[in-house]
Amino acid sequence: MKLFSHLMALLLFLLQAVPGLGLPKDTLRCLGYHGFCFRPKSCPESFAAFGTCSWRHKTCCIDTTSKFHTCQDEGGHCVPQKIKCLKEQVGLCPHREWKCCTEV
């Protein structure tokens, strides 16, 4: 029983020590795009909604005044990696492995 309690303490320590290990998948995705999780369903002024956080209980919002703009805000559209772009551009896509294109 003592061994079990030591293992549980170690597991709890690891969950707190390793960043992102205990966070939900949608929250990690939001943070990966430099987003912020807000409780209300709408984002504050100068922020754009970009998905969910905390198992869809919060809204992922991205600061539109920063250099991290969504692909659609920049006039492009998101496509999977296997599709060739004639012209790529900088912009965030809802699926991290997708890319932003102005012309396909």
The verdict on residue 34 lying in a domain is yes
Q: What is the pLDDT of residue 28?
A: 86
Give phi and psi for 38, each to the nearest 5: -120, 145
Q: What is the pLDDT of residue 104?
A: 58
Residue 76, token pair as written in the block: 């492009």
Q: Do 28 and 62 lie in a common domain?
A: yes
Q: What is the pLDDT of residue 40?
A: 72
Q: Do 59 and 75 lie in a common domain?
A: no
pLDDT tens figures, 41-97: 788 888 888 888 888 888 988 877 776 667 877 788 888 888 888 888 877 776 767
CA 9 to chain centre: 30
Closest to 27 (Cα-Cα) out of 36, 14, 19: 36
The verdict on residue 9 lying in a domain is no
Q: Do 75 and 63 lie in a common domain?
A: no
What is d(CA 36, CA 38) in angstroms, rounded to the nearest whole number? 6
Q: Do 58 and 29 lie in a common domain?
A: yes
Tally of structural domains, the chain = 2
Domain range enclosing 80: 69-103
Q: Do 58 and 77 lie in a common domain?
A: no
* CA trace torsion 84, 89, 92, 96 (10° rounding): 30
Global pTM reads: 0.48
